[in-house]
């Protein structure tokens, strides 16, 4: 297939591009590089030993999007491009609603106009809100606590309505749990700007000595050791999930959790990281972070049943690969 990948220079997008190329798909990346680097494109080519097409455009620019659709025969779109910092979405709600929702509408419209029938969307487990675990695709969604989460819930709704009104336009809504880790080559991975908000990149930066100590946000949750529980998924497993999701997409709207089904607490992840890499991570227990829920993990059985996809990589591999990337990334600075 000839696949348009928006946000393909980013963390999850770059890993997915590698897996798409590995599976003999052709890719066109559209990315404005607002949260990624141009060098990543060479890394994707280097790992896969394949070529790709790149457009540096903003996918909220309808005419720039239109010009890609009019000059390529596209079979499907995977839409990763979006702003994703939860805290920032609270202080810049209009930027988040505009970027994440307008981009989805423009791409869906272009697909319908140009009869591109396959659309895969990056959603998030955040749309479940504080539901009962494990989160199942059939659950009613609960309100999220921030504009970022709302952009995901609204984009899902927009795509569902667009598919209903345009038979043939098929949509896969992929709800990611907590992507971590990096490609085993160490060439691509997660490189957040500034101080990381997320646990794994924070831990790797403490390991490197860039940050002094991890702050564990709360140890009084109703969990195995009082710290927050999440379903961490290796980014390469997640990337493989996108390849099967687009290859096996059939008519209609399909929702899949992409997670492992396993919950891991903050202290358990910390322990695994220390053991996998033989590095001590100093930490303090501090107050809960506002907006955090206690427990979040997937019922991942639907993706296995329908798509034959299952996450294969464990927490140790996630910790080892995340650290390998951080080490290599720092050496280049």
Residues at the contact surface with ligand NAD, assessed by CB under 6 A: 6-7, 9-13, 31-36, 58-60, 80-84, 99, 103, 122, 124, 176, 179
Instruction: State how far the Cα of 83 lies from the Cα of 57, in Å rounded to an integer.
Output: 15
Spatial distance between the Cα atoms of 124 and 121, rounded to a whole number of angstroms: 10
Q: Note if 148 is an active site residue.
A: yes
Element at 91 (helix H, strand E): helix 86-91
Which CB atom, from 47 or from 266, has the smaller least distance to ligand UDP? 266
Say how far apart CA 262 and CA 315 lie, in whole Å. 10
Q: Which residue out of 11, 96, 148, 232 is catalytically annotated?
A: 148
Tokens of 140: 């009613």
- d(CA 233, CA 240) in angstroms, rounded, equals 12
289 binds ligand UDP (CB under 6 A): yes
Question: Which whole-number Å values give the CA distances from 246 to 18, 31, 250, 284, 298, in the listed order?
Answer: 15, 20, 9, 43, 21
Q: What, of ligand NAD, ligand UDP, none, does residue 114 touch, CB below 5 to 8 Å by kind?
A: none
CA dihedral 309, 315, 318, 319 (to 10 degrees): 180
Residue facing ligand UDP at closest CB distance: 228
Q: What is the rounded distance in angstroms from the CA atom of residue 1 to the CA atom of residue 135? A: 32
Task: Work out what residue 45 binds among ligand NAD, ligand UDP, none; the CB cut-off runs from 5 to 8 Å by kind.
Answer: none
- Give the pairing type, strands 76-79 and 118-124: parallel
State which of residues 18, 27, 65, 216 lies at the interface with ligand UDP (CB under 6 A): 216
Using DSSP, state whether 215 is helix, strand or coil. strand
CB of 230 to ligand UDP, least distance (A): 5
Asked whether position 228 contacts ligand UDP by CB under 6 A, the answer is yes
HSE-CB at 74 with a 13 A cutoff on CA atoms is 33
Instruction: Give me the least distance between CB of 57 and ligand NAD, in Å please.
Output: 6
Residue number with the shortest CB distance to ligand NAD?
A: 10
The conformation of residue 132, written as its DSSP 8-state character, comes to P
Instruction: Please report whether residue 217 would count as binding ligand UDP according to CB under 6 A.
Output: yes
Please count the CA atoms within 13 angstroms of the CA of 271 that sit on its side-chain side.
7
For ligand UDP, what does the binding mask look like between residues 241 and 270, x meaning CB under 6 A? -------------------------x----
CB of 89 to ligand NAD, least distance (A): 10
34, interface contact from ligand NAD, ligand UDP, none, CB < 5-8 Å by kind: ligand NAD
- Residue 178 within binding range of ligand UDP, rule CB under 6 A: yes
Query: Which is closer to ligand NAD, CB of 195 or CB of 220?
Result: 195
Give the residue with the Cβ less far from ligand NAD, 58 or 184. Answer: 58
Cβ nearer to ligand UDP, comparing 34 with 286: 286
Give the span between the Cα atoms of 127 and 142, in whole angstroms. Answer: 7
- CA gap 2, 114 in Å, rounded: 14
Q: Which is nearer to ligand UDP, 170 or 178 (CB)?
A: 178
Catalytic site positions: 148
Residues that bind ligand UDP (CB under 6 A): 178, 197-199, 202, 214-217, 228, 230, 266, 289, 292
């Amino acid at each position: 297939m000839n696949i348009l990948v928006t946000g393909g220079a980013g963390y999850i997008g770059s890993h997915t591009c590698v897996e798409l190329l590995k599976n003999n798909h052709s890719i066109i990346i559209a990315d404005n590089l607002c949260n990624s680097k141009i060098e990543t494109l060479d890394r994707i080519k280097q790992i896969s030993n394949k070529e790709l097409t790149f457009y540096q455009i903003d996918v909220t620019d309808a005419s720039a999007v239109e010009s890609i659709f009019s000059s390529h025969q596209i079979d499907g779109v995977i839409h990763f491009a979006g702003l994703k910092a939860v805290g920032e979405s609270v202080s810049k709600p209009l930027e988040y609603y505009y970027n994440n929702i307008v981009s989805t509408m423009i791409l869906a419209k272009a697909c319908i106009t140009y009869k591109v029938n396959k659309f895969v969307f990056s959603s998030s487990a955040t749309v479940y809100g504080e539901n009962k675990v494990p989160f199942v695709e059939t659950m009613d969604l609960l309100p999220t606590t921030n504009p970022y989460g709302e952009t995901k819930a609204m984009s899902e709704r927009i795509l569902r309505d667009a598919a209903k009104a345009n038979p043939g336009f098929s949509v896969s809504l992929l709800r990611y749990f907590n992507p971590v880790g990096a490609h085993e080559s160490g060439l691509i991975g997660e490189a957040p700007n500034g101080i990381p908000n997320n646990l794994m990149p924070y831990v790797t930066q403490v390991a490197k000595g860039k940050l002094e100590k991890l702050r564990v946000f709360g140890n009084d949750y109703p969990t195995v050791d009082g710290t927050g529980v999440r379903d961490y998924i290796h980014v390469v497993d997640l990337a493989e999930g996108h390849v099967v999701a687009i290859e096996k997409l059939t008519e209609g709207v399909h929702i899949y959790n992409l997670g492992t089904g396993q919950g891991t607490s903050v202290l358990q992840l910390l322990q695994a990281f220390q053991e996998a890499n033989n590095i001590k991570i100093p930490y303090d227990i501090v107050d809960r972070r506002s907006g955090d829920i206690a427990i979040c993990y997937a019922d991942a059985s639907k993706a296995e049943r329908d798509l034959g996809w299952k996450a294969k990589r464990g927490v140790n591999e996630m910790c080892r690969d995340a650290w390998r990337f951080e080490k290599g990334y720092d050496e280049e600075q």
